[in-house]
Amino acid sequence: MRNEARRAAVAAYKERKAVGGVYAVRCAASGETWVGHWPNIETIQTRLWFTLRHGTHPRKELIEAWCRHGESQFSFEILEKLEDEPTSYTRDSDLKDLAAHWREKLKANPM
């Protein structure tokens, strides 16, 4: 019975639909905001926090703010999701456009 439950869980994981979206990372101490996009919005916060904790994020100014103010001063927010993406090309283009819109609206830095 245990193997059947595992197989069902693996099958459900493989069949899940990845939803792209636009997100913001905010530093409460400095008031800075960074906006980015990702094809699977549900997984990006874990990746971001991992790269920031290890100092491997490509945005050096974000790492500097993280080190200066500490993790507790940072928050993650999903700004918008793309529920229906017909093709990956269209999805990527739409995500870039949405991210640019949100960066302008929030006067934010790119990710």
Q: In the chain, what are the domain boundaries?
A: 19-110
Question: How many Å apart are CA 26 and CA 44, to the nearest integer?
Answer: 15
| 17: Cβ contacts below 8 Å, ≥ 6 apart | none
pLDDT > 70 fraction of the chain, expressed in percent and rounded: 92
Average pLDDT over residues 47-55: 97
Backbone angles phi, psi at 30, to 5 degrees: -100, -15
DSSP β-bridge partners for residue 26: 33, 75
Distance of CA 35 to the CA centre of its chain: 9
Tell me the whole-structure pTM to 2 decimals.
0.81
Helices (H), 34-87: 44-53, 60-69
Partners of residue 27 on adjacent β-strands: 74
Domain 19-110 has CATH 3.30.1360.120: no
Across the range 62-87, mean pLDDT stands at 90
Asked if residue 87 has pLDDT above 70, the reply is no
